[in-house]
Chains A and B, each alone.
Chain A
């Protein structure tokens, strides 16, 4: 049973380009969460999605960031016009339902902005 799969593992972009990070949840999981970890800082919640719905986006920056979890396919975190400050590790987690089921994390995408 594969865990949460994130790709790419490493992504390099130049300032002003777009970054797309993908997350395939564990089999049977319909809830996805994105977190960001800036260098030398803790993990910060960004967004919580169910299939085709955004449940909580209270941690998303107001501009340039968007997330989706379509009916088919992986969840996508999209960052437009990247800046140096977007350099971070982005982690995705999934759970089978809401409630108190634990979230299981992928190994992250390391985004570097040149």
Chain B
């Protein structure tokens, strides 16, 4: 079971930080957490991934709790172009397949 739980929708004011939560309470030790987003009907865009340490790149930060049962994706300064569906996915090494849930629809408002 590669299930994650995300709120179906969130709003964020432009210029503010967007914090998107994800619950993966049954994650196993070799599973990574990946975040993707899909803007309108484009192909999913990779954002960031991590195993147990917090990660940061030019797009976002990923905060993983110490027990690894949940994580938060942080977009530090949301813009209107960040409006999208955000997917939190857990998958094991060498598994290959990504299992997409319903994701969180983030609406960034002016």
The chain A residues found within 8 Å of chain B, CB to CB, are: 4, 31, 33, 35, 42-45, 48, 55-56, 58-59, 89, 91, 93, 98-100, 102-108
Contacts and interface: CB of A to CB of B under 8 A. Distances in A.
A91 B43 contact: yes
A102 B41 contact: no
- Say what secondary structure dominates the interface of chain B: loop
A91 B96 contact: no
Nearest to A37: B41
Given A42-B102, A100-B49, A102-B49, A56 B43 contact: no
A42 to B, nearest CB: 5
Given A100-B32, A102-B34, A102-B49, A45 B43 contact: no
Contacts of B51: 100
A56 B96 contact: yes
A43 B96 contact: no
A43 B98 CA distance: 9
Contacts, number: 58
B97 A45 contact: yes
Contacts of A98: 93-94, 96
Contacts of B44: 43, 91, 93, 105
Interface of B: 32, 34, 36, 38, 41-46, 49, 51, 93-94, 96-103
Contacts of A103: 46, 98
Contact of A43 (B46, B93, B100): B100
Contact of A33 (B41, B94, B96): B96
A33 B103 CA distance: 20
Contacts of A89: 41
Given A100-B93, A107-B43, A108-B43, A45 B32 contact: no
Contact of B42 (A55, A58, A107): A107
B96 A106 contact: no
Given A58-B97, A105-B43, 4 more contacts: A42-B102, A45-B99, A100-B32, A105-B44
